[in-house]
Structure 1
Amino acid sequence: MQVLSVLIPAYNEAATVETILTKVAEATLFPEISLELIIVNDASSDGTEQRVAHWISANPQVRARLVSHPKNRGKGAAIRTGIETATGDFIIVQDADLEYDPNEFTLLLNPILQGHADVVYGSRFMGGKPHRVLFFWHTIGNKFLTFISNMFSNLNLTDMETCYKMFRAEKLKSVSLQENRFGFEPEVTAKIARIPGIRIYEVGISYYGRTYAEGKKINWKDGFRAIWCILKYGAFKG
């Protein structure tokens, strides 16, 4: 039995974290795959930690672990903690909101299990899956960042900024990551692309985006940071 480690960074997600944990735990997977949930509470102040602890206690049949940061360190730092804690054969990040559907894990796992891929990106901009219509400038920004990232990584991704990136665990654990906030996406893309012989695939996924009123946290400052990260880790190979 092979294990998929699902890393769930959570910062003030009390309203949705129990729902997403249930969705992940109930996701349809291949028979040869079992789940490991690693929830990293990044010093939430809204009761997220208590809700996660209660969910784990109420679901002893699920292999789940809660790790907490005493101080808020950012999504990238929470993902690094999750990577260090993960014991599975494959690793994916699942945001604690409801923007991505865990039932699509199999879409990303399939190219890996078939022996074609080491890394699979779930693209919100390809395929016929549902995609909530929201922010025009966010879409332009995402495509612009993907374009610049592709220039330096020599990849032809359509969605570098996607949360859903599935990795063979040994490939991801071989990369030294530094970014503490949303710079994780361009950093990991640049560094993964440099691994000799790495096989990267992309599949279309659904996207149920949320508004800022619904809790979305990324902003224009993170966009500028992403550009810097693309240059730092792509052009200058930091």
Structure 2
Amino acid sequence: MIRKLSIVIPAYNEAQTIHLILNKLKQVELVNQIEKEVIIVNDCSTDGTENTILTYKSNNPDLPINYFKHEINQGKGAALHTGIAKATGEYLIVQDADLEYDPNEYNDLLKPVITGFADVVYGSRFMGSNPHRILFFWHTIGNKILTTFSNMCTNLNLTDMETCYKLFKTDVIQNIQLKEKRFGFEPEVTAKIARVPKIRIYEVGISYYGRTYEEGKKIGWKDGFRALYSITKYGLFKM
């Protein structure tokens, strides 16, 4: 039985959007009256992210927010390591601080867990009939190449390894030693979660409201090479 869902939000220079995503989280009603635990890790932002978070936390005491910050910028993966370690819910989900993913779809990811089928659920941007913003062709090709290479190493058949929306059984993910501090988190956690004995991994279709670089998108081609390195290191070399 799930009593609490921990929502881990890594944040770096998201002063323009983080209060908006928190509004969405506040409005979401989880099935079976599951409680929400919001864990924000500010990865040494240089804009007004911290002030925005603290102001929101003060003005919205009915939304339980646990706030942590890094004194030096370490990367998204490092922020997730901190947030995962602090989670107290039976399950946790990763939520970016921008508006690319819709928290109203949490219940869709929870369904395979609540019905007793899944321990881990990935939200795929490449399946289902939900809205998807049309943006970068080469990003899509790169994502599919990375997902395919990852699947070859893990023997999974995921359609979207790089997705933000990953729902984990908390005690399982907390017992995995994670090392990648930046965007290598996604292939590393996928490779390591796939090796957990008898783990049950599911995938559901989600919406995707992607951003352009002008709107704040941060991932670039260098991160793609790091992902390839991480798949090789944690997947291929461990086969």
Same-fold call, TM cutoff 0.5: yes
* 2:187 maps to 1:186: yes
User: How far, CA to CA, are the matches of 1:84 and 1:57 in structure 2?
Assistant: 24
- Find the residue that maps to 2:235 and give its secondary structure: helix
- Find the residue that maps to 2:199 and give its secondary structure: coil
Query: What amino acid is aligned across from residue 209 of structure 1 in structure 2?
Result: G
* 1:54 corresponding residue in structure 2: 55
- Find the residue that maps to 2:32 and give its secondary structure: coil
* 2:158 maps to 1:157: yes
User: How far, CA to CA, are the matches of 1:25 and 1:90 in structure 2?
Assistant: 18
* 2:29 corresponding residue in structure 1: 28
Query: What amino acid is aligned across from residue 166 of structure 1 in structure 2?
Result: L
Shift of 1:22: 1.1
User: How far, CA to CA, are the matches of 2:63 and 2:103 in structure 1?
Assistant: 15
User: How far, CA to CA, are the matches of 1:72 and 1:15 in structure 2?
Assistant: 19
Q: Counterparts in 2 of 1:51-200, with a 5 A limit?
A: 51-200=52-201
Residue by residue over 1:96-139, the C-alpha shift from the partner in whole angstroms, topping out at 9 and shown as x without a partner, is: 00000000000100101111000000000000000000000000
User: How far, CA to CA, are the matches of 1:25 and 1:157 in structure 2?
Assistant: 30
Query: What amino acid is aligned across from residue 218 of structure 1 in structure 2?
Result: I
User: How far, CA to CA, are the matches of 2:75 and 2:81 in structure 1?
Assistant: 10
Residue by residue over 1:16-71, the C-alpha shift from the partner in whole angstroms, topping out at 9 and shown as x without a partner, is: 01001111121131133110000000000101011000000001111111101000
- Find the residue that maps to 1:31 and give its secondary structure: helix
* 2:231 corresponding residue in structure 1: 230
- Find the residue that maps to 2:207 and give its secondary structure: coil
- Find the residue that maps to 1:214 and give its secondary structure: coil
User: How far, CA to CA, are the matches of 2:236 and 2:32 in structure 1?
Assistant: 42
Shift of 1:236: 1.4
Query: What amino acid is aligned across from residue 138 of structure 2 in structure 1?
Result: W
TM-score after normalising by structure 1? 0.98
Identical counterparts, % of pairs: 63
Query: What amino acid is aligned across from residue 11 of structure 1 in structure 2?
Result: Y
Q: Which runs of no fewer than 5 residues in structure 2 stay unpaired?
A: none
User: How far, CA to CA, are the matches of 1:50 and 1:72 in structure 2?
Assistant: 17
Q: Which runs of no fewer than 5 residues in structure 1 stay unpaired?
A: none
Shift of 1:174: 1.4
Shift of 1:171: 1.2
User: How far, CA to CA, are the matches of 1:28 and 1:215 in structure 2?
Assistant: 28
Instruction: Report which stretch shifted further, 61-70 or 27-36.
Output: 27-36
| Aligned residues between the structures | 238
User: How far, CA to CA, are the matches of 1:154 and 1:17 in structure 2?
Assistant: 36
Query: What amino acid is aligned across from residue 59 of structure 1 in structure 2?
Result: N
Query: What amino acid is aligned across from residue 219 of structure 1 in structure 2?
Result: G
Shift of 1:195: 0.3
User: How far, CA to CA, are the matches of 2:177 and 2:138 in structure 1?
Assistant: 32
Query: What amino acid is aligned across from residue 112 of structure 2 in structure 1?
Result: P
Shift of 1:170: 1.1
Q: Which runs of 4+ in 1 moved over 6 A?
A: none
User: How far, CA to CA, are the matches of 1:27 and 1:141 in structure 2?
Assistant: 32
TM-score after normalising by structure 2? 0.98
* 2:46 maps to 1:45: yes
